[in-house]
Structure 1
């Protein structure tokens, strides 16, 4: 089956934190939060993406802002379909021609979860859906030699999942996916500040703390920030100061799970490929990989080189987009109904 060069086919990374859409010949045209504001009385979508994010914590009682995906999989199919349709219609250059779509999925996705993603894409107007594992997409997007006999290792840290994979000869040799990512880091900050400071934070405040002072390894120059929340004793607003060392301690249970997943994949890696990784090292991708100290932490724990990919937040969609743009040479890394 030939991939028609009409410039209308899509690559979709439907992530827990962010949804990105690449259009063949145009690049990434949608890059927005995976958030939806829903009118609870009618069930209809009020806003999606950045517009929904701006409504967080500010909506009337009948409007609810929610994430329709959790840990990289669909939890509310109706809302997910409304959100995806909104983004796809913005990206489609033609309403008359139904595009084909490459959809990224976590490595550990079940058959039922994968089918839900495929069905959502089909109901949004796709006439054929190809599935690409996020770890493979990240490796392609990071310009790793995925078709070479030399082994490559990628750790893709997203909002809801972290995918770890060793890749060789165009396929995944070993992989592990843990349902831990940037969202769990935010939740650990909220829980830790509540337990230690008796202060209740919102979701956006926790994310701001992560961006300002978050770290997984001691910093040469520790950072501090002031954060405002609601005092649980008095119910009044209160401000506390948090430092990078304290935040690192709060998120340690989450980061330890990622380190262990990488270690387990290395433990079962074939000796020949393990030797390659000593030279090539590990490449980190995904938005959560930008948390300070990840390269130092993994290098210390594992004793092999670690580097952060260029523009790690867009590595997955770049890889999926490359499959759309050059389908002939990358067809064998894809799976889906379109291959029949």
Structure 2
């Protein structure tokens, strides 16, 4: 079913999918990015029927009666529930587009997989696409797709470093001559940072946050929120752990910064390991060029500054960090990438 995806084979694909733990994105040749929705489905456990997918299903989190279960079929970049992922994708794509895709006699699809995805995870990605009617599936390393999508000169001999900040995992790699020189996958992502904030508020202030308001809290810290120049405190609304009643507290932003430092240390360790495994000639390039951050969690307020302080390297955030991987795949599908020495995912 899968081969190592050459640019030539990717050009023959009709549809590309980036199935992430947080969001699912679909790119259709000729139509562009057609789906960008949360990777969530709400199921009626009594009947097994799908009630909602995407944003609507995400809004149901924590608000549903007992028989409605909100599921996330993707975890850490790998499909953990193939059947659910297929159903979710079908609904996200919609009837009209599915009909158009079905008319293609030999539908070819491309999908992103995390850097060190094991054969089972690769197989799950392929099966999910086959459920959409794909006769052939090409797999592309997320790191390469993201590097192409944010316009890094991947095919040149200089080294570039990319940090893909996902919800469940962070991947970091050094690329040169169109292939991955060294890479690490760290099991810490935006969710771990959310979790650290939630735990901090629970222990320090005995406050429970509604599941949807962790991100707004980070945004409340935004601008210079996570840097020492930011506001010293911010007001947070939540529910008292003991009484269950609503209340608001003034939260010290420096304490929140300390709380999220622990998960971020793992990311810094990963960057350090990649640099240690990297040939010295390339490390010299990186000192000038720095790190390019992509992925939805790249926008965590102040994260880039934290990395600058810790590594002493320049850190840039891609223009549209959350959609780099799918736009990179799309560029490959539409043949906008000159054939280069791409070392694709060996299938």
Task: Please give the TM-score of this superposition, normalised by the length of structure 2.
Answer: 0.90
Cα distance in 2 for partners of 1:278, 1:336 equals 30
Cα distance in 2 for partners of 1:106, 1:244 equals 33
Inter-CA distance 324–333: structure 2 relative to 1 (3 Å threshold):
farther
The CA RMSD measured in Å over matched residues stands at 2.3
The equivalent residue for 1:35 is 40
Cα distance in 1 for partners of 2:113, 2:340 equals 17
The structural deviation recorded for 1:42 is 2.0
1:155 aligns with 2:160: no
Q: Are the aligned partners of 1:287 and 1:313 in contact in 2 as well (CA < 8 Å)?
A: yes
Which of residues 267, 271, 274 in structure 1 aligns to 2:283?
274
The equivalent residue for 1:173 is 181
The equivalent residue for 1:235 is 244
Equivalent residues in 2 for 1:63-142 (5 A)? 63-89=68-94, 91-92=97-98, 93-97=100-104, 98-142=106-150
The structural deviation recorded for 1:154 is 0.4
The equivalent residue for 1:329 is 339
The equivalent residue for 2:58 is 53
Q: Are the aligned partners of 1:132 and 1:333 in contact in 2 as well (CA < 8 Å)?
A: no
The structural deviation recorded for 1:175 is 0.2
Larger relative contact order (CA 8 Å, sep ≥ 6):
2
State the SS of the aligned residue for 1:148.
coil
Q: Are the aligned partners of 1:3 and 1:328 in contact in 2 as well (CA < 8 Å)?
A: no
Number of residues of Structure 1 aligned to a counterpart in Structure 2: 336
State the SS of the aligned residue for 2:60.
coil
Farther-moved stretch of structure 1 (165-174 vs 322-331): 322-331
Q: Deviations over 1:228-268 (max 9, x none)?
A: 32212112222222243232122111111111111110111
Q: Are the aligned partners of 2:10 and 2:332 in contact in 1 as well (CA < 8 Å)?
A: no
The equivalent residue for 2:260 is 251
Runs of 4 or more, structure 1, over 6 Å off, are: none
The structural deviation recorded for 1:56 is 2.2
The structural deviation recorded for 1:225 is 3.6
Cα distance in 2 for partners of 1:45, 1:85 equals 11
State the SS of the aligned residue for 2:287.
helix
Cα distance in 2 for partners of 1:328, 1:141 equals 14
Q: Deviations over 1:165-214 (max 9, x none)?
A: 11111110000011211111111111111111112223212222122216
Q: In structure 2, list runs of 5 or more residues that go unmatched.
A: 1-5
Equivalent residues in 2 for 1:310-325 (5 A)? 310-325=319-334
Q: Deviations over 1:97-133 (max 9, x none)?
A: 2531111111122111111111111122111111111
Q: In structure 1, list runs of 5 or more residues that go unmatched.
A: none
